[in-house]
């Protein structure tokens, strides 16, 4: 178990899916957690489960003002922010030539600009404390490319550049920045993606079938690794791009008969 005693963690997209799992795990590991999401009802519901250890704030990661307000609420309620998980994300599935520019822009805004704004918003607290840890959530799909996910994979690949640069800029100030790339994990996003695009559903099922570990991931399997990266146990780990994906990005394994 990771030790997050004394940590004040913002989790974007913490109202459901993997984000809600991360929130529960960090609270269980001793952190106080700020659930930051556009889904108010779901966010309040997760917060109320956790009592005094969690609050919900409405945050649209694409808005700089929204970030300023959320960090201020976190500071007022718990104290200066020590940790951030940039988990909020959206996908849009279509062949590249059928992807409307509005959808491209929307995915870039949430998945990449949102991560940039998040790091920017928490940096003053972390620089003041000369300590902090940030985990940016990419995707195994961003490491290998994925049919029908041009905007999504572009943002998730972009997260690596942003993570490495932030790690270089902030390491000397005691702040660690890492990227974690989940594989195929059963969440509302995955269910919606599979329901809305049969080609993508087939591709995802094939990916899992030929993986080294041939199954979908569970949300807690991602939360465990993020909790470690946020903890002081990972004090010499920065700038890494860590797949947590059952081997999705490796070569194909032959399935058992
Ligand atoms: N599920 C998978 O198989 C998978 C695989 C690899 C990577 N990921 C990544 O993991 C992260 C979590 O995905 P998930 O599967 O739990 O998805 P999800 O759709 O279940 O949850 C995403 C959360 O982000 C929130 N969100 C969306 N736009 C937002 C905005 N503008 N501001 C604030 N919050 C916003 C949503 O409201 C939602 O609560 C995403 O970054 C996703 O790209 C998912």
Q: What is the pLDDT of residues 44-99, one digit of tens each?
A: 999 999 999 999 999 999 999 999 999 999 999 999 999 999 999 999 999 999 99
Taking alpha carbons only, the member of 20, 43, 45, 42 closest to residue 226 is 20
Q: Is the CB of 39 under 6 A from ligand 1?
A: yes
Query: Does 137 contact ligand 1 (Cβ within 6 A)?
Result: yes
User: Residue 33's pLDDT is what?
Assistant: 98
Q: Is 179 in the pocket of ligand 1 (CB under 6 A)?
A: no
Atom in ligand 1 nearest the alpha carbon of residue 111: 41
* 154 occurs within a structural domain: yes
Which pLDDT score is estimated for 124? 97
Q: Is residue 76 part of a domain?
A: yes
Q: 251 lies in a domain?
A: no
Closest ligand 1 atom to residue 189 Cα is 19
Q: What is the pLDDT of residues 128-178, one digit of tens each?
A: 999 999 999 999 999 999 999 999 999 999 999 999 999 999 999 999 999
CATH code: domain of residue 207: 3.40.50.720
Task: Tell me whether residue 44 is in a domain.
Answer: yes
Q: Please work out whether the CB of residue 226 comes within 6 Å of at least one atom of ligand 1.
A: no
Nearest to 152 by CA among 167, 166, 140, 142: 142
Is 254 within the bounds of a domain? no
Distance from the alpha carbon of residue 65 to the mean position of ligand 1, in angstroms: 21
How many angstroms does the Cα of residue 224 sit away from the middle of ligand 1?
Answer: 17
The whole domain housing 164 covers 8-244
pLDDT digits (tens, 9 = 90+) for 166-195: 999 999 999 999 999 999 999 999 999 999
| Separation between Cα atoms, residue 59 and residue 91, nearest integer Å | 18
Give yes or no for residue 257 having a pLDDT over 90: no
> Does the beta carbon of 66 sit less than 6 angstroms from any atom of ligand 1?
no
d(CA 31, CA 61): 22
Mutate to test the pocket of ligand 1, among 10, 63, 151, 189 (most ligand atoms within 8 A of CB): 189
Laid out side by side, the sheet with 32-37 consists of 54-58, 32-37, 8-12, 83-86, 132-137, 175-182, 241-244
Number of domains in the chain: 1
The ligand 1 atom at the shortest distance from the C-alpha of residue 18 is 16
Choose which residue among 10, 12, 18, 141 to substitute to test ligand 1 binding: the one with the highest number of ligand atoms within 8 A of its C-beta. Answer: 18
Cα 246 from Cα 183, distance rounded (Å): 7
Q: Report the catalytic residues.
A: 152
Mean pLDDT of 124-130: 98
Does the CB atom of residue 180 touch ligand 1 within 6 A?
Answer: no
Write down the mean pLDDT value for the chain: 97
């Amino acid at each position: 178990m990771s030790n997050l005693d004394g940590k004040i963690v913002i989790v974007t997209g913490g109202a459901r899916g993997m984000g809600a799992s991360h929130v529960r795990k960090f609270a269980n590991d001793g952190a106080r957690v700020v659930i930051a999401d556009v889904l108010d009802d779901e966010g309040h519901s997760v917060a109320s489960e956790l009592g005094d250890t969690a609050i919900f704030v409405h945050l649209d990661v694409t808005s700089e003002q929204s970030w300023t307000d959320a960090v201020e609420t976190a500071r007022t309620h718990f104290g200066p922010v020590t940790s951030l998980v940039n988990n909020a994300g959206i996908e849009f599935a279509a062949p590249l030539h059928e992807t409307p520019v509005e959808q491209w822009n929307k995915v870039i805004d949430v998945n990449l600009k949102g991560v940039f704004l998040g790091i920017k918003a928490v940096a003053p607290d972390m620089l003041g404390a000369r300590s902090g840890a940030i985990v940016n959530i990419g995707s195994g799909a961003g490491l290998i490319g994925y049919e029908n996910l041009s905007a999504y994979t572009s943002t998730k690949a972009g997260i690596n550049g942003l993570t490495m640069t932030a790690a270089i800029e902030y390491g000397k100030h005691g702040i660690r920045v890492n990227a974690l790339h989940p594989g195929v994990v059963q969440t509302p996003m995955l269910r919606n993606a599979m329901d809305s695009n049969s080609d993508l559903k087939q591709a995802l099922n094939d990916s899992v079938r030929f993986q080294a570990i041939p199954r979908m991931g569970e949300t807690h399997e991602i939360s465990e690794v993020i909790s470690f990266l946020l903890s002081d146990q990972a004090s010499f780990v920065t700038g890494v791009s860590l797949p947590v994906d059952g081997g999705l990005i490796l070569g194909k394994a032959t399935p058992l008969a």
